[in-house]
Structure 1
Amino acid sequence: MGEAWWLVALGGALGGMARLAVSELLARLAGSDFPWGTLTVNLSGALLAGMLIGWFDGEATTAWLGLVAGGLGGFTTVSSLSLQTLVLWQSGRRDAALANLLGTAVAGVALAALGWWLMGGGG
């Protein structure tokens, strides 16, 4: 199990750096009026998590822990989602806040299920 700790730590560091890169790129390309970067990393992370759980057939191997708990755990972010949604709400942009929160939750579950299905899950 000691190897898993190092893979999770490495994956978390790399995932966090990737999240920052994607978020900054999308802020430059799409503007910062809406948290497009956080939405993108959370939804793509959900898809990848679903694909990986399908690939590993639901077994939490050392590699799975490094990729999902570490890499995708560092890449996706509930804290940024929460804070950005709160800022949108407090600034009077309640529709955008609800779209951000519900869009992430509903689309995230749908993309995780799609990823799992694409990798042969359930059949």
Structure 2
Amino acid sequence: MIPALATLLACQLLGEVVVRWAALPVPGPVVGLALLLAGLALRPKWVDAIKPTSQGLLQHLSLLFVPAGVGVMQHLQRLGSEALAIGVALVVSTFVGLAVSAWVMIWLMHRQGRRNDGP
């Protein structure tokens, strides 16, 4: 379990280093996750070594939301005073996300159709 956890943390650290070195506008853990995915794709036998630890972390993922919930409770008055702006932002971002997802799906379907119509 310790080597697998060390591997996950090393990928996160490497992601942070890459983001800071290249000044990327992406969170370091996201880059670390991509590096982990690449490593697992190149060496599939690593999956068996990391799987139990990652499943254990995922089983307790809800505990990681406790600090966010506490933060929300501490700023409840501010959330109430800015409820309209937050609500509008949530609705607009939801519709933009849906529209972009639909557009990407249509684009990919057309691209796949052209590929299937080829020689």
Kindly indicate which of the two structures has a greater share of residues assigned to helix: 2
Greater radius of gyration (CA): 2
Which has the higher relative contact order, 1 or 2, with Cα contacts under 8 A spaced 6 or more apart?
1
- Normalising by structure 2, we get a TM-score of 0.30
TM-score, normalisation: structure 1: 0.30
